[in-house]
Amino acid sequence: MTTETREPQGREAARPPFYRDVRVIRVVGQLVAVIVVFGIAYWLVNNLISNMNRLGISTSFDFLLGPTNTAIPYHESFDIRSPVWQMTLVGIKNTFLAAIFGVILASIVGLMVGVSRLSENWLVARLATFYVEFFRNIPPLVLIIFFGFAVFTFGPFPIFSESWELKVPGSDNSFLIINNDRWGVPGFTATGSLVLFWAILAAGVVLAAYMWRRRTKHFEQTGQPHHRVLWFTGVVLVSLVVAYIASGQPLDMSWPVISENRRRVDGGFIANWGWISVTFALGLYTASHLGEIIRGSILAVHQGQSEAANAVALSAFQRYRFVVLPQAMRIALPPTINQYLNLVKNTSLGTAVGYAEITALTKTSVGNGRPAFQSFIIVMAVYLTFSLSISLILNVVNRRLQLESR
Amino acid sequence: MKITKLLAAFVALMLILAACSSDDDAAATTEAAADDNGGDDGGTTGGKLAAVIAADKIVCGVNDGLPGFGVVDDAGVYNGFDVDFCRVVAAGVLGDADKVEYKPLTADVRFTALQSGDIDVLIRNTTWTATRDGQEGATFLFTVFFDGQGMMVPASTGFTTLEDLADANICVLSGTTTELNLAAVFGARGIPFNSVVFEDNAQLNPAYQEGQCEGWTSDASQLAAFKSAIEGEGGEEQFIMAEIISKEPLGPVVSDGDTEWAQAVEWSVMATVQAWEFGLDSGNIGSYSGDNPNILNFIGTDNFNPGLGLPTDFAVQVVTQVGNYKEIFDRHIPAIGLQLEGSPNNIWTEGGLMYVPPYR
């Protein structure tokens, strides 16, 4: 009886006091950490708001509804009386344009450089090494400024009134207009509502993706050729035609044409020098990093894989396309995500060449008396959204690509 | 049992935290109170003017890269129209024009420097606007230079009006009042244009010269400075349109809330114009032998003291050490291509806007 009552007491006594109990410390430690972090955040925000109130600085976002009052570079049709949020949208669009084309350029050049670095051809390998060492070691801001000034300001291109034009025979329209300020290529203009067009096209892309998976499954089950690229492209093209006709042909081909006073390029898709400088400088800069990532990833694929590919008589191209690169991509993807994110953030350097991206426009807007704090909160939110979207998409891809370990 | 102990520990911790933070608060409050008292005491015993006299130097915020107004040479010596007015204030308040410490400031930090008390006076081609007066805690004093936004084009284009620039690219610095004016004036007249923005003139200048834009808009004084620089380096001949599209009154600025200091600065600066009006310059003010009572008051004979907190001979110190307004103007401004005759900066008796209250 006595022993029975004592035993639990003994166990109790054997336990360390609560302040040395690992289980307690663990929970309390985390609680404290959470409280400290939130406490500091609360204190900072509270401090900021009370200070702003004390100084009579507005903490509201009403300024977004007020007029912009400044012109946006290379957006001549932008009404300066439009509300500030429309200016913000233009900035977001421009940031997106620089980021997306930069990513595409960086990926293509980076892949080429990465593979070339490992080439057995002495010249190709050395050129790729030179490329990497050159671009990797120059700060992106310097590259952007250099691009803007070396290529456009002091570059070989003529001034606006003396633009080079590659004319469509028998008309004023051009295939290509080039000067030191902007380049024009053929594009499209909307003549009606595009909602139906995009809806049908989106449905087509979904269908194409479905076909891709079906063909893949078919191949896996039967071993017959899948032709999934062919199928995918075919479905997309057909849906493009269907969408165009079904929505009442809402798009017109538009050719760039130089205005009579030779100061405007009307129609077509027009690229301004700021955008070209930012896209190329950042694309080529990021490509040097991607090249190294891809080279490292290829080297990380086991030597035996290449040897096995050689053993079954695959050509060098086939060896890369079907054996080495698919495995290398798996390794390359996580660091590549980082590089893409860097590229997106680096577009904010476009302000150096007067490119009207979100940071540049916000700086101008703040300089003209809009509240700095709220304006930059919006800028932060924009970059965060861009970066998180890229992360999200690529992380999904990454998870799909990883080897399933069983 | 476990839960209770955990809870107890947590509560204890919270209590400790709360105790700590309330201690801190109390300490902070007392400190702040002490600070306040100190500040108030300083305020009642003469404020900035007394502080400047005690320190025996004036800290002056200037531009270090604007030809004619504020430049610093290889030897580190500051020079220019605005810089001379820093010297005017030092001569007026301290009796020695050399007792100035120059602080080179960029456009975006100039008001912060003033608000935080890093500088005593800001003389840095700063335009007087309502927003700056109201929101930046700044007091704008006597306008020493009437500027206005102009438009420069290469002379070879033959353009003379803004309408000639329809659809053209126009170079402008970002985040300036110039950019707002450009959009407002062109918009109001219905002239389509494209702005090409740069962050500083070092980038804008080559872009303009290489023909990326056909017009360059900025304060007329700056355009004049760059016009002479471009032509001096053998560049293309430039033309500045006669039309001025904005008012840009430039003058010394002090922070709000110290009237005595503001008056001392303002009257020191205005003495240069008064001397000019009296026909006194650095050569003859010391040897004035006439009997005009107004002039005798001005140069401090009979120890006339209007109670501004300035020495009675401050005007003599200002004019002998730095010069009258015309001397200061002639020393810096014609060199960048702007003339006094016919400009608003001429004295009122000759049709200009330089008009100061009587010193009596």
CATH code of residue A268:
1.10.3720.10
For residue A72, the chain B residues in CB contact (below 8 A) are 195
Q: Do B197 and A153 touch (CB under 8 A)?
A: no
For residue B7, give the H/E element and its range.
Answer: helix B2-44
Which pair of tokens denotes residue A188? Answer: 């499209």
Q: Which chain B residue lies closest to A58 (C-alpha atoms)?
A: B135
Say which of A19, A69, A354 has its CB closest to residue B183: A69
Boundary of a domain, candidates B223, B246, B269: B246
Amino acid at B218: S
> Count of A–B CB contacts within 8 Å?
105
Are B57 and B134 within one domain? yes
For residue B206, the chain A residues in CB contact (below 8 A) are 149, 153-154
Are A272 and A127 within one domain? yes
Boundary of a domain, candidates B199, B221, B246: B246
ipTM of the complex: 0.75
Q: Which chain B residue lies closest to A182 (C-alpha atoms)?
A: B212
Q: Do A31 and B10 touch (CB under 8 A)?
A: yes
Q: Which domain holds residue B228?
A: 150-246
Are B77 and B161 within one domain? no
Q: What confidence tens digit (pLDDT) does each residue in A106-156 have?
A: 999 999 999 899 888 999 999 999 999 999 999 999 999 999 988 888 888
Q: What confidence tens digit (pLDDT) does each residue in B75-117 have?
A: 999 999 999 999 999 999 999 999 999 999 887 788 888 888 8
Are A324 and A280 within one domain? yes
Q: Which chain A residues touch B if contact means CB-CB below 8 Å?
A: 18-19, 23-24, 27-28, 31-32, 35, 69-74, 76, 80-81, 145, 149, 152-154, 159-160, 180-181, 259, 261, 263-264, 273, 351-352, 354, 360, 363-364, 366-369
What is residue A404's predicted lDDT score, i.e. its pLDDT? Answer: 64
Are A144 and A16 within one domain? no
Are B212 and B157 within one domain? yes
Residue carrying the six token digits 């952007």: A144
Q: Over pLDDT 90: what percentage of chain A?
A: 43
Q: What is the mean pLDDT of chain B?
A: 85
Q: Do A27 and B175 touch (CB under 8 A)?
A: no
Are B130 and B178 within one domain? no
Q: Do A159 and B211 touch (CB under 8 A)?
A: yes
Would B175 be classed as within a structural domain? yes
CA-CA distances (angstroms) from residue A230 to A227, A236, A240?
5, 10, 15
Are A358 and A297 within one domain? yes
Are A143 and A290 within one domain? yes
Q: Do A351 and B199 touch (CB under 8 A)?
A: yes
For residue B167, the chain A residues in CB contact (below 8 A) are 76, 259, 261, 263-264
Are B277 and B129 within one domain? yes
Are B171 and B110 within one domain? no
Would B359 be classed as within a structural domain? no
Are B124 and B258 within one domain? yes
Would B66 be classed as within a structural domain? yes
- Model confidence, pTM: 0.74
* Total of domains in chain B: 2
Say which of A81, A259, A273 has its CB closest to residue B167: A259
Q: Do A73 and B194 touch (CB under 8 A)?
A: yes
For residue B169, the chain A residues in CB contact (below 8 A) are 160, 181, 263
Are A92 and A23 within one domain? no
Give the separation between CA A200 and CA A384, rounded to whole angstroms. Answer: 31
Q: Which chain B residue lies closest to A71 (C-alpha atoms)?
A: B183
Q: How far is B322 from chain A (nearest CA, A)?
A: 35
Would A199 be classed as within a structural domain? no
Q: Which domain holds residue A19?
A: 2-54
Q: Which residues contact A282 (CB under 8 A, 6 or more apart)?
A: A98, A102, A106, A140, A143, A144, A343, A346, A347, A349
Boundary of a domain, candidates B200, B222, B246: B246
CATH code of residue B176:
3.40.190.10
Which pair of tokens denotes residue B141? Answer: 């004093």
Would A140 be classed as within a structural domain? yes
Length in residues, chain B: 360
Would B293 be classed as within a structural domain? yes
Contact B251, B144 (CB under 8 A): yes
Are B137 and B157 within one domain? no
Would A151 be classed as within a structural domain? yes
Are B142 and B155 within one domain? no
Would A372 be classed as within a structural domain? yes
| CA angle at B312 for the pair B306 and B313, rounded to the nearest 5° | 140
* Total of domains in chain A: 2
| Largest distance between two CA atoms of chain A | 113
Q: What confidence tens digit (pLDDT) does each residue in B283-317 have?
A: 999 888 888 999 999 998 888 889 899 999 999 99
Q: What confidence tens digit (pLDDT) does each residue in A219-233 have?
A: 888 888 888 889 999
Give the separation between CA B251 and CA B269, rounded to whole angstroms. Answer: 9
Are A50 and A98 within one domain? no
Which residue blocks in A228-272 are alpha helix, DSSP H? Answer: 228-246
Are A161 and A118 within one domain? yes
Q: Do A180 and B210 touch (CB under 8 A)?
A: yes
Q: Do B9 and A351 touch (CB under 8 A)?
A: no
Are B210 and B240 within one domain? yes
Are B325 and B276 within one domain? yes
Most confident of A43-47, B142-146, B185-189: B142-146
